[in-house]
C-alpha cells in the first residue's frame, strides 16, 4: 500500500492580475482578463509522505509559484490544494518553508532566529533556546548562536534557516531553490546536510531547483515543468538510485548519467523555448 499523500495539487491555475486590487481587495479568483499573466495552468502533482520530490524547469516557469500555492502563500485561481487529504485554507501550518532569499530576522541572533518558531507556539523561552542550541549543532553551527545574520556567511545563514524550519518538526518541507545563491561546493555540502537530516526523519519534501543534477542527486522523483506562460507539469521521473546517497559521489554513478540524459532530453527543449522567449 502506498503511503498517504502529503501534498496534492490538482489542476492548479495561477494568474497574476495586471490590474492592482483596490484597497482591501477581493479574493484573487475568476478567469484571466486581458493583461493578466497566466503563470501556471492545469498543474497536477502529488507528494507522498516521506517522499522527496523536486520540481525542475526553465527560469521563470512558475516553479516557485506552484510551491507558494502548496504553502498557502498564494491562492490559485482554479484548482484544489489538499494537505493530508484536507483542503488547504490559509497558510499551510504543517509545512516548513525554506526561502531562496535571506529570510532570517536580521535583528535576532542565530539562536533567537531558530528558537522563535517554538516561542511563538507558546513554548517557554528556556526550553525553546535549549532546543535551538541542539538544532544549531545539528546543522553544524555549534557555538554560533550569538551571531547576528550579517556576521554569518551565506552558507551559514542557510544552515540557520534550515534549523529554524526543522525545529518546528513540520510534516512537510517546502524548499524554494534554497541553495541557489550559494557557490557550487557549498551547495553540495548543504545537499548532503539536507539528505542526512532528512534520513533521520523522512518528511515529505517538495524541492524547487533549476539545477537538474542537484534534483537527481537529492530526490526520489523529479518532475519537469514546461516553460511559461501557462506552465504545467510535463514529465515525472522516478530516481531509483540507492540510498543513503552522497550528493557529490552519486553524480559519478552510471545510473545517474542515464537518468540525467533521459530527463535532459526533455528539459532541453523547454529551456530553449524559455530562452527564445526572453530573447524575442
Partner 1 sequence: MSVSKHTLLALQILVAVVALGIWHIGSSVPIFGVYFLPKFFFSTPWDVAARIVKLFSGTLIWKHLGITLTETLLAFVIGAGGGVLVGFWFARRPLVNAVFDPYVKMANALPRVVLAPIFMLWLGLGIWSKVALGVTLVFFIVFFNVYQGVKEVSQAVLSNARMLGMTEKQLFRHVYWPSALSWMFSSLHTSVGFALVGAVVGEYLGSAAGLGYMIHEAEGVFDTTGVFAGMVILAAFVLLVDAIVTAIEHRLLVWRPDAAGRNA
Burial string for 3-35 (b: 16+ CB within 10 Å, else e) reads eebbbbbeebbbbbeeeeeeeeeeeeeeebeee
Q: Please list the helix, strand and coil fractions of the chain in percent, rounded to the nearest 5, in that order.
A: 35, 25, 40
The binding site for partner 1 (CB under 8 A) comprises: 23-24, 71, 73, 91-93, 95-97, 99-109, 116-117, 120-121, 148-151, 164-165, 168
Name the DSSP class of 184: H
The residue (of 42 and 94) whose beta carbon lies closer to partner 1 is 94
Q: How far is the CB of 138 from partner 1 (least distance, A)?
A: 18
The residue (of 127 and 185) whose beta carbon lies closer to partner 1 is 127
Strands ordered across the beta sheet of 95-98: 95-98, 172-176, 204-209, 52-56, 221-225, 233-238
The residue (of 41 and 64) whose beta carbon lies closer to partner 1 is 64
The residue (of 120 and 258) whose beta carbon lies closer to partner 1 is 120
Q: How far is the CB of 72 from partner 1 (least distance, A)?
A: 9
Check if the beta carbon of residue 209 is closer than 8 Å to that of residue 54: yes
Q: How far is the CB of 127 from partner 1 (least distance, A)?
A: 16
Q: What is the DSSP string of 24-89?
A: T---S-S---TT-EEEEEEEEEEEETT-EEEEE-STTSSHHHHHHHHHTSS--SEEEEEETTEE--
Helices and strands (DSSP H and E) totals, the chain: 7, 10
The residue (of 157 and 245) whose beta carbon lies closer to partner 1 is 157
The residue (of 109 and 219) whose beta carbon lies closer to partner 1 is 109
Q: How far is the CB of 104 from partner 1 (least distance, A)?
A: 7
Q: CA 131, 97, 184: angle at the middle one, nearest 5?
A: 95
How distant is the alpha carbon of residue 57 from its chain centre? 13
- 59's grid cell: 527560469
- Which residues fall within 8 angstroms of residue 125, CB to CB, at 6 or more apart? 115, 119
Q: How far is the CB of 148 from partner 1 (least distance, A)?
A: 4
The residue (of 11 and 151) whose beta carbon lies closer to partner 1 is 151
| CA dist., res. 190 & res. 248, Å (int) | 11
Q: How far is the CB of 89 from partner 1 (least distance, A)?
A: 14
Q: How far is the CB of 212 from partner 1 (least distance, A)?
A: 25
Q: How far is the CB of 150 from partner 1 (least distance, A)?
A: 4
The residue (of 101 and 200) whose beta carbon lies closer to partner 1 is 101
Amino acid at each position: 500500500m502506498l503511503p498517504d499523500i502529503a501534498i496534492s495539487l490538482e489542476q492548479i491555475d495561477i494568474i497574476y492580475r495586471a490590474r492592482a486590487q483596490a484597497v482591501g481587495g477581493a479574493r484573487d479568483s475568476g478567469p484571466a482578463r486581458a493583461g493578466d499573466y497566466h503563470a501556471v495552468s492545469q498543474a497536477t502533482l502529488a507528494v507522498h509522505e516521506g517522499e522527496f520530490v523536486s520540481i525542475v524547469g526553465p527560469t521563470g516557469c512558475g516553479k516557485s509559484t506552484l510551491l507558494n500555492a502548496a504553502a498557502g502563500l498564494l491562492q490559485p485561481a482554479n484548482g484544489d490544494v489538499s494537505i493530508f487529504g484536507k483542503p488547504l485554507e490559509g497558510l499551510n501550518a504543517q509545512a516548513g518553508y525554506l526561502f531562496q532569499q535571506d529570510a532570517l530576522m536580521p535583528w535576532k541572533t542565530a539562536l533567537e532566529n531558530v528558537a522563535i518558531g517554538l516561542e511563538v507556539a507558546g513554548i517557554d523561552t528556556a526550553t525553546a533556546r535549549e532546543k535551538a542550541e541542539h538544532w544549531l549543532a545539528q546543522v553544524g553551527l555549534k557555538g554560533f548562536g550569538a551571531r547576528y545574520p550579517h556576521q554569518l556567511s551565506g552558507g551559514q545563514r542557510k544552515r540557520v534557516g534550515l534549523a529554524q524550519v526543522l525545529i518546528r518538526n513540520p510534516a512537510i518541507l517546502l524548499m524554494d531553490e534554497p541553495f541557489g545563491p550559494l557557490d557550487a561546493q557549498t551547495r553540495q555540502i548543504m545537499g548532503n546536510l539536507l539528505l542526512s537530516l532528512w534520513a533521520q526523519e523522512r518528511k515529505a519534501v517538495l524541492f524547487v531547483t533549476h539545477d537538474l543534477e542537484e534534483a537527481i542527486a537529492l530526490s526520489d522523483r523529479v518532475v519537469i515543468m514546461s516553460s511559461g506562460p501557462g506552465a504545467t507539469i510535463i514529465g515525472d521521473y522516478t530516481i531509483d538510485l540507492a540510498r543513503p546517497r552522497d550528493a557529490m559521489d552519486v553524480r559519478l554513478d552510471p545510473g545517474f548519467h542515464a537518468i540525467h540524459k533521459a530527463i535532459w532530453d526533455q528539459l532541453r527543449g523547454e529551456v530553449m523555448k524559455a530562452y527564445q522567449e526572453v530573447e524575442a
